[in-house]
């Protein structure tokens, strides 16, 4: 199929997207969602045929994925999806906590009813999906939308995009953790707690709430490595 060369912004407006960016986004989504698990060989020719593009944008997309640390390009041997790099995961988690605690602090210092309303609508949809493992993909998209809404509320959407490029290993780890009993309900509960403290204008409580939320998967890392050793680097 020919890949659609446009994307939709925060409020539905259309933005042109290059073929390379469109292929990158599509491949990254498959890698992060574990549709392409570690060890998957990515054929440039097959990708070009699937998305109806030339080899040039495919090559550029794979190079960007390599910069993200998600694939390894081996000359003459193809491209392979890498295992989850635990060291990189921990580093980017540290960065994420630092950035997102500042985001919620700023939001709580000056609560914006419109931002709170958008976040609440997302959480209502997420709440309706909790426990339905068949809807994990949509649940995860709503999770991303919740955090994106918080960043947008302080005018830091571009910063979040920079951060997301470093979070591929963490996102894959979260996908392994999401089917765990009670995990989806716990995420929703933590999201409501964050939003509650923002709305009440309590920056310290909001910061603590998001620290607790963002530490969930990291606390379970050893268990996940033991359960899914084939997904992690040694």
Match 């906590």 to its residue by tokens: 97
Q: Do domains 6-81 and 86-231 have the same CATH topology?
A: no
At residue 70, what are phi and psi to the nearest 5 degrees?
-95, -20
Taking alpha carbons only, the member of 217, 225, 122 closest to residue 175 is 217
Gap between the Cα atoms of 148 and 174, Å rounded? 17
Homologous superfamily of 86-231 = GntR ligand-binding domain-like (1.20.120.530)
187: phi then psi, degrees, rounded to nearest 5: -60, -45
CB count, 10 Å around CB of 4?
10
10-residue block means of pLDDT along the chain (234 residues)? 44 60 95 96 94 94 96 88 94 94 98 97 95 86 95 96 93 92 93 98 98 92 95 90
Q: In sequence order, what are the residues at sequence separation of 6 or more whose Cβ sits closer than 8 angstroms to the Cβ of residue 30?
A: 36
| Three-class HEC string of the chain | CCCCCEEECCCCCEEECCHHHHHHHHHHHHHHCCCCCCCCEECHHHHHHHHCCCHHHHHHHHHHHHHCCCEEEECCCEEEECCECHHHHHHHHHHHHHHHHHHHHHHHHCCCHHHHHHHHHHHHHHHHHCCCHHHHHHHHHHHHHHHHHHHHHCCCHHHHHHHHHCCHHHHHHHHHHCCCCCHHHHHHHHHHHHHHHHHCCCHHHHHHHHHHHHCHHHHCHHHHHHHCHHHECC
Q: What does pTM read for this prediction?
A: 0.86
Residue 87 burial (C-beta neighbours within 10 Å; 0-12, 13-18, 19+): exposed
Whole-number pLDDT of residue 39: 95
Q: Check residue 4 and give its pLDDT.
A: 44
The CATH classification number of 6-81 equals 1.10.10.10
Measuring CA to CA, how many Å separate 33 from each of 106, 172, 201? 31, 6, 35
Closest CA to 114 of 10, 186, 190: 10
Domain spans, the chain? 6-81, 86-231
């Amino acid at each position: 199929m020919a890949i659609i060369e446009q994307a939709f912004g925060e409020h539905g407006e259309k933005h042109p997207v290059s073929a390379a960016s469109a292929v990158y986004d599509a491949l990254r989504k498959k890698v992060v969602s574990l549709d392409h698990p570690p060890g998957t060989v990515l054929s440039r020719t097959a990708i070009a045929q699937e998305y109806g593009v030339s080899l040039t944008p495919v090559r550029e997309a794979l190079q960007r994925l390599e910069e993200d640390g998600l694939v390894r390009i081996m000359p003459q041997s193809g491209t392979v999806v890498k295992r989850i790099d635990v060291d990189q995961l921990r580093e980017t988690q540290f960065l994420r906590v630092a950035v997102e605690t500042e985001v919620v602090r700023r939001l709580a210092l000056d609560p914006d009813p419109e931002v709170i309303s958008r976040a609440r609508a997302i959480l209502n949809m997420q709440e309706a999906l909790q426990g339905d493992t068949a809807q994990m993909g949509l649940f995860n998209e709503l999770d991303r939308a919740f955090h994106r809404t918080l960043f947008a509320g302080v005018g830091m959407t571009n910063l979040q995009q920079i951060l997301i490029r470093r979070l591929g290993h963490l996102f894959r780890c979260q996908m392994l953790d999401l089917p765990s009993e009670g995990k989806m309900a716990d995420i929703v509960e933590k999201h409501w707690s964050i939003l509650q403290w923002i709305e009440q204008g309590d920056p310290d409580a909001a910061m603590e709430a998001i620290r607790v939320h963002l530490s969930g998967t990291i606390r379970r890392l050893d268990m996940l490595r033991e359960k899914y050793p084939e997904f992690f680097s040694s």
